[in-house]
Amino acid sequence: MKALNKNVKVLVIGAGAMGSGIAHVAARAGHTVYLYDGRPEAVQSGCAGIDKDLRYLVAKGRLPEAEAQAILARVLPVAALDEARDAGLAIEAIVENLDVKQALFRDLEALLGEDAILASNTSSLSITAMAAGLTRPGRFAGLHFFNPAPRMALVEIVSGLATERAIADTLHATARAWGKIPVHAKSTPGFIVNRVARPYYAEALRVLAEKAAEPQTLDAILREGCGFAMGPFELMDLIGHDVNFAVTRSVFEAYFNDRRFAPSLIQQELVFAGRLGRKSGHGFYDYA
Ligand code: NAD
């Protein structure tokens, strides 16, 4: 199966941590990218984030200046979804909430051409359920990048019950053409990585609740002693506690309240306090 042609325009909805990273990846692969967010200021900071990442690569000698400018010029901020009618691929990276995502996809299906592919970057929600209200559910799939999207190689291509194999294969080939390592996954709660990762966070949070070790200690053990790229607490701070808590709840509920996936009160408190991790300046660690 062939990757999408570079002249297919990509619409990314949600310009937060993931949306801006995905826009970076698609623009770097040669696509024109429309970047939209319900909050216009998020589009501005998303574009600034892409610029900052490109500047870093230029400074390190890994990207020519002219190429960095061309990539940034391919990211077009849009103030309304109407401006992106000619997009052939829409990738959603908004809040982890099924109802909100379903409403967005109904709007996108009405707006974009019949050949457009719709994809969600959801971490855990059912692709089958998200597609259920659509007229063309076969053209819908999960396209799950990892944080930060420009640096993390893995992409899960998630098929729901209605996803056409050709659509999943096209997304697989496209992710590969974008320099990623794609894997096919089925629409099960948390797919592959977020299902396996839940106990990693949960057990670390239980150790903390029992006061058996501090976040710094556990992170250092997992990172320096066990070879993980990041310890569980610094990783949760990077992901964002609002996002990670929503994913935990969704996986827990989807597995009919299986205790293995039970959310943590510690994490809930952080969300209540607005201590969302790096993005808010405070989480398990201070970043301000
Ligand atoms: P984020 O909070 O950084 O960004 C979300 C953006 O979506 C915000 O800018 C917000 O204004 C916008 N938004 C919310 N509702 C909207 C709507 N209805 N229409 C338009 N814009 C809307 O969140 P994020 O970390 O980028 O996560 C986005 C999605 O990606 C979630 O589904 C999350 O589960 C998934 N995801 C997150 C990570 C991670 O590590 N953070 C990794 C993989 C996947």
User: What is the distance in A from the centroid of ligand 1 to the CA of 66?
Assistant: 30
DSSP-derived secondary structure letter, 137 = G
Taking only Cα atoms into account, the Rg of the chain, rounded to an integer number of angstroms, comes to 19
Q: State the pLDDT confidence band at 288, using cuts at 50, 70 and 90.
A: confident
Question: Residue 108's CB: how many other CB atoms inside 10 A?
Answer: 20
Ramachandran angles phi, psi of 183, nearest 5°: -135, 145
pLDDT tens-digit map of 116-160: 999 999 999 999 999 999 999 999 999 999 999 999 999 999 999
Tokens standing for residue 112: 């974009």
* CB of 121 sitting under 6 A from ligand 1: yes
> Which residues have a catalytic role annotated?
123, 144, 156, 194
Tokens standing for residue 33: 């990218």
Q: In what order do the strands lie in the sheet with 33-36?
A: 75-77, 33-36, 10-13, 89-92, 117-120, 140-145, 154-159, 181-186
Instruction: Report which ligand 1 atom has the smallest distance to the Cα of 100.
Output: 18
**pTM score of the predicted model:** 0.95
DSSP-derived secondary structure letter, 133 = T
What are the structural domains of the chain?
10-186 (3.40.50.720), 194-280 (1.10.1040.50)
User: What is the distance in A from the centroid of ligand 1 to the CA of 15?
Assistant: 7
Instruction: Specify the pLDDT at position 60.
Output: 97
Residue 100 CA: distances (Å) to CA of 96, 105, 107: 8, 9, 11
User: What is the distance in A from the centroid of ligand 1 to the CA of 283?
Assistant: 18
* CB of 235 sitting under 6 A from ligand 1: no
Closest CA to 148 of 46, 220, 78, 30: 46
- Contact between 34 and 84 under an 8 Å Cβ cutoff? The reply is yes
Instruction: Specify the pLDDT at position 52.
Output: 97
Residue owning the nearest CA to atom 8 of ligand 1: 16
Could you give the count of Cα atoms lying within 13 Å of 146 in the half-sphere of its Cβ? 18
Residue 147 CA: distances (Å) to CA of 20, 139, 154, 168, 178: 11, 25, 10, 21, 16
pLDDT tens-digit map of 161-193: 999 999 999 999 999 999 999 999 999 999 999
Instruction: Specify the pLDDT at position 280.
Output: 97
